[in-house]
Structure 1
Amino acid sequence: MSTNPFRPTMLSRRGMSRALGALGLAAACLTGAGSAFAQTAVRFTLDWRFEGPAALFLMAQEKGYFKAEGLDVTIDTGNGSREAIPRVASGTYDAGFGDVNSLIRFRDENPSVDLKAVMMVYDRPPFSIVGRKSRGISADVKSLEGKKFGAPAADAAFAQWPIFKTVNKLDDSKMRMENVGFPVREPMLASGEVDAVFGFANSSYINLKSRGVPVDDIVTMLMSDYGVELYGNVVMVSPKFATEKPEAVRGLLRAITKGVRDTVANPELGGKLVIQRNDVAKLEVEVERLKMTIAQNVMTPAVKADGFGGIDKARWEQALDQIGLTFTFKDKAKAGAAFDDSYLPPVAERKF
């Protein structure tokens, strides 16, 4: 009897098992390779520790928004909103969160480095002078004259003093500026060693309150309430990352936008995400700090009207003029071209 050449070959049970096993291994390898290919690693630096405001970015990680964009984002703490800039400019980090005014100055001092901001997060900066009524400080700027200040040299708020004193016509010839470290700034004010400090309102106010200073003894002067037209912290990306992976930048900003939206809606969850990463933080303190940041810096009237993440060009030009009071531009136009809105999601997605 002749053999039918078209008759299927019958595999033994062992052979069938081996064949299926090989197919499963191949599928697993392909799946793993696909996942590895899809996930773009992104190193992101914060401006400071894991405190309330960090939730704006941690939320996107928690909700899986980064992963959905094909991004494997690592979020690290920082040492100040100015120090985030060289971290990103050098390529040590692909993206980061830092002070846009310091970025503009950095661009003027390093014209060959085309580092840019791609998303405005703090529409109003948290730059402030925080003092105590019991030390003679009031809401009247003239009460600052003749006082002693804790002024960290690397502090972004202190860097704006030339603007603040100019627009408010203050005489600082009798003021004493003492260079102090960040860790001792609020303790010195709490103990009465200084009359006021420069800092971020969402840090200095909350830290003083947590140290037992009575709320009615704390005076917070937000510089944006006293004629300072500057913007605040931004998301910036390294020139290399922006050039080589523009779609990753767009995905990063889409994810952050969703994370900010969810944080605004649920700051209590945001606080929990922070304390999961900071074992010395207190939930109620970080939730209050986050709510303060959202109200004063993120969800401003302009953002509610025009959407999160962008800038007003006329105000940007005003801010550049004020920055010019802090130092002399070598090339104002080049330094001022520090914001690129082309990576932002559509405005409709940024209104919440």
Structure 2
Amino acid sequence: MFGFKTIAIRGLLALSIWHCAPMACDAAETATPSVPVQLTFDRPLDASMAPFFVAAKNGSFGGEHLAVSFKTAAGSPEALARVARGESELALVDINELIRFRDKADAAPIKAVFVLFNRAPYAIIARRSRGIHLLSDLDGKTVGVADGDLSIRLWPALAQQNRIDTSRVKFHGISAAVREPILSAGQVDAITGFTYLSAVNLRDRGVPASDLTVLRFADYGCEAYGFAVVANPAFAAAKPDAVKGFVRALIAGINATVRDPARAVDEVMSRKDDGELELERLRLRTVLADNVLTEEVKRNGLGGVDPARLERSIDQIAQDFKFRKRPAASDVFDGRFLPPVEGRLIN
């Protein structure tokens, strides 16, 4: 009798396994495969990119069935070119450079799908000891401008808006490698750059914060947005759900970065060959306060734009850049990939 029961149980187990096996196979076959996505940063890695690496580390990208890899380029034009050629599906670039890019006769119709920097990081960083406290104090001063600097391209609009006589400000072309050193050495009175790069780097060079004046363009009427994620048009059209998933994962990465910035910086440092931990922590705090967590973002959520503000920022670019055909805000930003506002609010 015992033997009969054993045989019966074994038979039932076998039958159970036989029925379950096809379901297991079906589940494996229907599992959503990961979509490969390459994101190109337009510059070497730093703490401002922390949300992307946090999203990769904590599984947010994987949870959206995305296999995200990262590369760097030598500036926004190169990153945009890679996206245009389809070498990268996405890139993080200066949205103002995207606006200029779209003016080319043969430009691919690349659009931004998520704005990371609600406020551009453009600034003039000056020495208080040279008598510079306000933008108007640049009268008669010498400002160092590095090759390829993006801040200087909005200077004409800023100067006009603040009634600065541009003939009274001398701009001195320099190499990007010596931008901070020549200011710390006193060879110029100020430099143009980004708040979270030049201003932070100068403190690392021994210039006390009390001797630095950071003249943020945004504080003087510049309405430009900053860095944004742009998408290859063909990829966005073929795999819109992948772009939407990337945006959701990035939002999760931003929220995680805001909750634990120290851990976020650690994740960046694990991917860098060099860099100083405390410097990168200061860099991230600066970015979050100045560029990401603005009052507009707190009201309207991450990632989007105010179309009227974007239009005005394009007008400001036009004071230095001669458009063949001025693009509209809708030519630059595509909000279809954003989740509803409630899914974009800072937790």
TM-score between the two structures when normalised by the length of structure 1: 0.87
Tell me, yes or no, if the aligned pair for 1:59 and 1:263 is still in contact at 8 Å: yes
Tell me, yes or no, if the aligned pair for 1:120 and 1:309 is still in contact at 8 Å: yes
Question: CA-atom RMSD, angstroms?
Answer: 2.4
What does 1:236-275 correspond to in 2, within 5 Å?
Answer: 236-275=230-269
1:112 CA drift (Å): 4.4
Tell me, yes or no, if the aligned pair for 2:310 and 2:329 is still in contact at 8 Å: no
- The CA distance in 2 between the partners of 1:110 and 1:119, in whole Å, is 25
- Distance change in 2, residues 1:113/1:186 (3 Å): same
2:90 to 75, 82, 95: 95
Tell me, yes or no, if the aligned pair for 1:146 and 1:172 is still in contact at 8 Å: no
1:84 CA drift (Å): 2.5
Q: 1:294 and 2:288 equivalent?
A: yes
Instruction: State the SS of the aligned residue for 2:102.
Output: helix
Q: Quick one: which amino acid aligns to residue 238 of structure 1?
A: N
- The CA distance in 2 between the partners of 1:309 and 1:135, in whole Å, is 39
Tell me, yes or no, if the aligned pair for 2:102 and 2:327 is still in contact at 8 Å: no
- The CA distance in 2 between the partners of 1:208 and 1:174, in whole Å, is 26
1:17-75 CA-partner distances (Å, limit 9, x unpaired): xxx9xxx9xx89x95x877x711111101132221101021111011111111111111
5+ residue gaps, structure 2? 1-13
1:315 CA drift (Å): 1.1
- The CA distance in 1 between the partners of 2:343 and 2:216, in whole Å, is 29
Q: 1:133 and 2:133 equivalent?
A: no
What is the number of residues matched between the two proteins? 329
Q: 1:147 and 2:168 equivalent?
A: no
What does 1:19-168 correspond to in 2, within 5 Å?
Answer: 31=28, 38-110=33-105, 112-138=107-133, 140-168=134-162
Q: Quick one: which amino acid aligns to residue 231 of structure 2?
A: V
Q: 1:207 and 2:201 equivalent?
A: yes
Q: Quick one: which amino acid aligns to residue 190 of structure 2?
A: A
Instruction: State the SS of the aligned residue for 2:332.
Output: coil
User: Could you say which residue in structure 1 is the equivalent of 2:11?
Assistant: none
Q: Quick one: which amino acid aligns to residue 144 of structure 2?
A: G
Tell me, yes or no, if the aligned pair for 1:186 and 1:204 is still in contact at 8 Å: yes
1:329 CA drift (Å): 2.0
5+ residue gaps, structure 1? 1-15
- Distance change in 2, residues 1:116/1:133 (3 Å): same
Tell me, yes or no, if the aligned pair for 2:103 and 2:327 is still in contact at 8 Å: no
- Distance change in 2, residues 1:136/1:110 (3 Å): farther
User: Could you say which residue in structure 2 is the equivalent of 1:183?
Assistant: 177
1:148-197 CA-partner distances (Å, limit 9, x unpaired): 22212311112211111111121222433222222211111111122111
User: Could you say which residue in structure 2 is the equivalent of 1:13?
Assistant: none
Q: Quick one: which amino acid aligns to residue 314 of structure 1?
A: A
- Distance change in 2, residues 1:34/1:198 (3 Å): farther
